[in-house]
Amino acid sequence: MRFALLFRDFASNIHSKPLIRNRFIHKAFFHATRTILQTTESPPPAEGFLPGVEQSKFIKSTQEEALKNPELANTGVANGETKRMNMFQAINDAMGIALTTDETAVIFGEDVAFGGVFRCTLGLAEMFGKDRVFNTPLTEQGIVGFGIGMAAMGHTAIAEIQFADYIFPAFDQLVNEAAKYRYRSGGLFNVGGLTVRSPCSAVGHGGHYHSQSPEAYFTHTPGLIVVMPRGPIQAKGLLLASIRNRNPVIFFEPKILYRAAVEEVPVGDYELPLGKAEILKSGKDVTVVGYGSQLYTLERAIQLAEKDIPGLSCELIDLRSLLPWDVDTVANSVNKTGRLVISHEAPQTSGFAAEVATCIMERCFLRLEAPIQRVCGLDTPFPLVFEKFYVPDMTRCYDAIKEVVNY
């Protein structure tokens, strides 16, 4: 059915030969980024390649920066320890806390017992036992159905779908069952304890079935919560909130960030709010909206635009939750700036940007000074060798910002 093995190979390679592999990644990320990006002869790095993450101002690389986040103020970790973690480690940490604090919590999916093909469940089976962290047979509809059943008994089920591209066999269970469980029973039963985690989005060389961003299929489904973090601190806080939220949550993890994004992450138990956007950078002229790994591309596009157009100031918003999404924060921003650019990796037609654009048109019609711009993946399947032309890269985002400003 699929070629997950490809990624497993990469993962285990990295694991078994840390020096060689790390050196390669290090080099790729820190010293030769532009060259590799532009040299077609070089193969893409195994873990994918996302320019901008290391230089991002949104990455909290010191304890002070990490703890400055006002959302952590009331969480009990505000004055606590932090630890350097990449995103898979932060996710692993969140799940460890979830299992420690909730006896009913279990983790299951394909290949999670040995640590997962992306290492997110590393060590958890050893720590919590094989009855709490276990492999299932290779069946996505079975995994989600099984999770729904556990959650219907009031237990906490953390299911993993190995790649978001393979969530579609479970579409029926998610859309017809999980999402409607509470509503159709008149509130007698619910599956609020269900969280489905899944790696999503581009990775540099994932082709059709290791690259998709299927969030919009699910944001069309009342009853589900859909979340996508942009880095380790968020991933941990949002995942803990998702696991404990009393509604079924689909938690998409941009796989390109698993290793690329490294932050000082609070070691304690904390949650970040679902349904709330975060203003990453204040500005007055253009509102730029995105989520997940796309934010780093947007950040670079904004930097370039602000450099090229003296006096321009862009406001960048990370939606974090896509269902329900924080219309107020975006509308307030657009009422201030009068211009909106939305960007996501998924194809444009009926993508999530269409929802944002329509809601903002309804809420901010009199304040809009230019047509809303969508910078999205193309309306094609996600291609292999053409990835760089398919993704809404820095150039396209930069161009869209210039377009709305010059309209």
Partner 1 sequence: MNANISLRAVAKLHVKRASVFLINGRKFISTSRILYQEPIKNKNKEKVPFPGATGSYFTNELQFIQNIDPIPTYRVMDRQGKIADPSQDPQVSENFAVKIYKDMVTLNILDLILYDAQRQGRISFYMTNYGEEAYVGSAAGLNNEDVIFGQYREAGVLLYRGFALDEFMNQCYSNEKDSGKGRQMPVHYGSKKLNFQTISSPLATQIPQASGAAYALKRAGNKNCVMCYFGEGAASEGDFHAALNIAATMKCPVIFFCRNNGFAISTPALEQYKGDGIASRGIGYGIDTVRVDGNDVWAIYNVTKAARKLAVEENRPVLIEALTYRIGHHSTSDDSSAYRPKKEVEDWKRLDNPLVRLRKWLEDKNWWDENLEQEYRSSIRKEIISAFSKAEKLHKPSITELFNDVYDHPTPNIIAQRQKLKQLIEKYPKNYPLEKFKNEGKDL
**Structure tokens, 143:** 């995994």
- The answer to whether 220 is a known catalytic residue is no
Give least dist CB 245 to partner 1, A. Answer: 8
**Structure tokens, 350:** 């009926």
- The answer to whether 210 is a known catalytic residue is yes
**Structure tokens, 107:** 């983790």
Candidate list 47, 110, 160, 210, residue with the active-site label: 210
Distance (Å, whole) CA 304 – CA 363: 29
Give least dist CB 182 to partner 1, A. Answer: 5
How many helices (DSSP H) and strands (DSSP E) are in the chain?
Answer: 17, 14
**Structure tokens, 271:** 């949650």
CA distances from 299 to 244, 248, 290, 306 (A): 31, 31, 10, 11
Nearer to partner 1, 245 or 293 (CB): 245
Return the closest-CA partner of residue 117 out of 195, 198, 20.
198
Beta strands (DSSP E) in 100-218 are 106-109, 133-135, 157-160, 194-200
The single-letter DSSP state of residue 58 is: T
SS3 state at 290? strand
Angle at 376 between CA 373 and CA 378, to 5 degrees: 125
DSSP code string of 359-375: HHHHHHGGG--SPPEEE
Give least dist CB 266 to partner 1, A. Answer: 27
Angle, helices 87-101/232-244, rounded to nearest 10 degrees: 30
Provide CB contacts within 8 A for 153, sequence distance 6+.
Answer: none
| Bond from prior residue into 214 cis (ω within 30 degrees of 0) | no
Return the closest-CA partner of residue 254 out of 48, 29, 96, 11.
48
Angle at 236 between CA 235 and CA 237, to 5 degrees: 95
Chain positions contacting partner 1, by CB under 8 A: 104, 106, 131, 134, 136-137, 139, 141-142, 144-155, 157, 169, 172-173, 176-177, 180-190, 192, 222-223, 225, 246-247, 275, 324, 327-328
Distance (Å, whole) CA 325 – CA 328: 9
Candidate list 47, 140, 253, 345, residue with the active-site label: 140
Catalytic residues: 140, 210
